Structure 1
């Protein structure tokens, strides 16, 4: 269940997240009006485990969108195709205050002055980045033996 991550996400705003930049396909000197691919830009303040959490949730969002059926089809555009580069652009975006110590990148923290670190009000505990097993959440529900037995008993 993702409820365990509510406290983390309540501290985040869009400006704290990684961004993305469009890849424009150029043909005949014309730029594509609606790019299909976006390269992820990393926020320097984010730790590796936090980035992994965000990327996993991005993937889940895309998977969830693809599995929509019937009347549950989402309106509007599909999720962006966000591509993680081997050497991504890293930006020094604003960092949220009050996160757990392992949410912040140690290399980024090393660039800050002591008073700037104090202003972050870092929680002196490690955050649990664990996610539920998505494969179990996406598998169809199978009938149990007791369900089929109860169905058979009414036909006799």
Structure 2
């Protein structure tokens, strides 16, 4: 679950050439992602699962702006899936539908070391002892969480070359 979430976010960054966010995601491991749990419904005394809907479990260490960036990357993944055309149609299951709870479920999970100071939740940092904060090796600068508008984002050079090759292949037919 966590590995898939990180892979999807890294893929979105790569496809759209969002190189400014690559360093941030490279510092993170699957265990640093927010989690999710499947939605369950009870019907006629039987538990029925809806495997494509998952409720988000927030990681306490993540700041609001970091959460917003990561959720935006998730939304971009869904948009990419919905906008797939031709030979670029993805195989397998559609992306998970990750839903925020009205009252968020928050867990105190492991935090990555070496992130920018505004990636960490101040309330979480306040719970740490000074030596624990030092062990985080926090970069004393603010991270720029900006993303371009999805509809104006460009694909990466690799994807452009692949598209051009497939266009030239179809021209030869």
Decide: shared fold, TM above 0.5: yes
CA distance in 2, matches of 1:36, 1:29: 22
| Offset of residue 33 of structure 1 | 4.5
CA distance in 2, matches of 1:28, 1:68: 39
| Offset of residue 97 of structure 1 | 0.1
Unmatched runs of 5 consecutive residues or more in structure 1 = 139-156
User: Equivalences for 1:85-100 in 2 at 5 Å?
Assistant: 85-100=101-116
Is it true that 1:67 corresponds to 2:83 in the alignment?
A: yes
CA distance in 2, matches of 1:52, 1:121: 23
| Offset of residue 134 of structure 1 | 1.1
CA distance in 2, matches of 1:128, 1:80: 27
Deviation beyond 4 Å, 4+ runs, structure 1: none
Unmatched runs of 5 consecutive residues or more in structure 2 = 1-16, 155-173
Task: Identify the range of structure 1 (31-40 vs 11-20) with the bigger mean alpha-carbon deviation.
Answer: 31-40
Aligned length: 138
User: Paired residue for 1:49, among 55, 61, 65?
Assistant: 65
* TM-score, normalised via structure 1 length: 0.84
Task: Identify the range of structure 1 (64-73 vs 29-38) with the bigger mean alpha-carbon deviation.
Answer: 29-38
**Going by fraction, where is helix more abundant, 1 or 2?**
2
8 Å CA contact 2:37, 2:54 repeated in 1: yes
Question: Which has more radius of gyration?
Answer: 1
CA distance in 2, matches of 1:136, 1:36: 28
Aligned to 1:82: 98
* TM-score, normalised via structure 2 length: 0.76
